[in-house]
């Protein structure tokens, strides 16, 4: 490209980004910078009318956080939720997307809408039905009883409350990933897939050696988006367990939410940025892993 063409392209690119940058700068960067600054102060709920009259405390909020057992517990819980939840959700969503994209000819629309309903169903209704399913003498335990297994009191057990919420989250979020994966599958060049079939590759080989590599950018997109959501998980424990029993389902975002509620803005901001660092690290890792063989 010539220098003139390059310069012209740069001008065009800036013109393309201008509306976004204006909104982004004003409504995202300014609040972001303020909240980062807040995490280095002792900002409290009672300081909102005089935001400049607070003390700079450096990293004190951060050291205090890591000294708080509830916060450490919340971080561990978040890790548990993410490490189990993301692979589970992605695997289920990918399996459904593949099945809907290739194997199904009838009722395709009905299936897609069906799998998407959990995403749109109000969390209140979801909570009521899931609590009903999971209660000690509920349908799930009756089913297990039929198989000779005595099910636990899922939501009140420190062992089983978290797995219950993970399954519920996977159920609620697979619809979003399904939509993204379907769009990705649709964008695959049909010739390549057909050519592989013509070469006599079986379904598994086709998936493993043709579809999966081509789908990598979409998988990365799905993985990053779902990580951002899962690392901030909050609604499930909020409506199901209130973080209990004994903090077994207290998440990092729930902890932050509580600190805001207590008026401890500085602590809450610090907690949010610790979580941010984790999210960023996980995303970088995903970029590396899924890009490796591009």
Q: How far apart are CA 281 and CA 287, in angstroms?
A: 10
- Could you tell me the smallest distance in angstroms from the CB atom of residue 209 to other proteins? 18
Considering beta carbons, is residue 84 or 127 the nearer one to other proteins?
127
192 contacts other proteins (rule: CB under 8 A): no
Binder among 3, 4, 103, 288 for other proteins (CB under 8 A): 103
Our finding on whether 263 is near other proteins (CB under 8 A) is yes
Closest distance of CB 162 from other proteins, Å: 16
Nearer to other proteins, 84 or 221 (CB): 221
Q: Cβ of residue 60: shortest distance to other proteins, in angstroms?
A: 14
- Sequence-ordered alpha helix ranges (H) in the chain: 3-24, 30-38, 60-67, 69-98, 108-120, 123-134, 139-146, 161-187, 190-198, 203-206, 212-214, 216-231, 235-240, 252-261, 265-291
Q: Indicate the residue among 76 and 246 with the shorter CB distance to other proteins.
A: 246
String of contacts with other proteins for each residue 18-57, x by CB under 8 A: -xxx-xx-xxxxxxxxxx-xx--xx-xxxxxxxxxxxxx-
- By CB under 8 A, residue 205 contacts other proteins: no
Return the number of the residue (26 or 91) whose C-beta is nearest other proteins.
Answer: 26
36-71 CB burial, b ≥16 within 10 A, e <16 = eebbbbbbeeebeeeeeebeebeebbbeebeeeeeb
- In the set 72, 208, 242, 291, which binds other proteins (CB under 8 A)? 242
Q: Is 288 among the residues that bind other proteins (CB under 8 A)? A: no
Beta carbon of residue 55, minimum distance to other proteins (angstroms, whole number): 5
Let me know: does 251 contact 78? Beta carbons within 8 Å: yes
Between vectors from CA 66 to CA 65 and to CA 69, what angle results, nearest 5°?
Answer: 90
Angle between helices 69-98 and 60-67 (to 10 degrees): 80
Q: Binding to other proteins (CB under 8 A): which residues in 117-176?
A: 117-122, 124-126, 128-132, 135-136, 153, 156, 171, 175-176
Interface with other proteins includes 189 (CB under 8 A)? yes
CB 86 within 8 A of CB 229: no
> Rule CB under 8 A: is residue 225 a binding residue for other proteins?
yes
Site track for other proteins across 61-100, x = CB under 8 A: -----------------------------------x--xx
State both tokens at 256: 């932050």
Minimum distance between the CB of residue 107 and other proteins, rounded to whole angstroms? 8
* Residue 280 binds to other proteins (criterion: CB under 8 A): yes
Cα–Cα distance, 277 to 273 (Å, whole number)? 6
**Considering beta carbons, is residue 99 or 289 the nearer one to other proteins?**
99
Cα angle, residue 14 at apex, residues 13 and 17 outer, rounded to 5°: 90
User: Residue 230: left if φ>0, alpha if ψ -120 to 50, beta else—which one?
Assistant: alpha
| Of 82-90, 141-149, 204-212, 222-230: span binding other proteins (CB under 8 A) | 222-230
Q: Is residue 111 at the binding interface for other proteins, with CB under 8 A as the rule? A: yes
CA 132, CA 155: separation in Å to the nearest integer? 11
């Amino acid at each position: 490209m010539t220098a003139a063409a390059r310069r012209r392209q740069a001008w065009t690119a800036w013109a393309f980004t201008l509306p976004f940058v204006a909104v982004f700068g004003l409504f995202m960067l300014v609040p972001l910078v303020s909240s980062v600054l807040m995490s280095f102060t002792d900002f409290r709920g009672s300081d909102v009318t005089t935001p400049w009259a607070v003390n700079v405390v450096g990293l004190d909020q951060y050291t205090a956080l890591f000294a708080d057992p509830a916060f450490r517990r919340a971080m561990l819980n978040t890790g548990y939720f993410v490490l189990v939840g993301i692979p589970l959700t992605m695997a289920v969503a990918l399996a459904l997307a593949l099945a809907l994209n290739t194997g199904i000819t009838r009722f395709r629309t009905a299936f897609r809408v069906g799998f998407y309903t959990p995403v749109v169903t109000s969390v209140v209704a979801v909570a009521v039905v899931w609590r009903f399913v999971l209660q000690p003498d509920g349908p799930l335990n009756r089913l297990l009883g039929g198989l000779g297994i005595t099910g636990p009191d899922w939501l009140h057990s420190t062992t089983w409350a978290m797995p219950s919420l993970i399954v519920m989250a996977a159920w609620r979020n697979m619809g979003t990933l399904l939509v993204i994966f379907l769009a990705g599958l649709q964008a695959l060049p049909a010739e390549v897939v057909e050519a592989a079939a013509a070469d006599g590759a079986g379904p598994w080989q086709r998936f493993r050696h043709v579809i999966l590599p081509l789908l990598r950018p979409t998988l990365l997109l799905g993985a990053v988006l779902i990580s951002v959501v899962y690392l901030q998980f909050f609604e499930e424990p909020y409506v199901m367990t209130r973080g209990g029993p004994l903090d077994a389902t207290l998440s990092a975002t729930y902890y932050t939410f509580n600190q805001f509620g207590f008026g401890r803005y500085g602590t809450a901001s610090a907690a949010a940025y610790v979580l941010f660092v984790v999210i960023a690290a996980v995303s970088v890792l995903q970029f590396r892993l899924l890009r490796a063989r591009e």
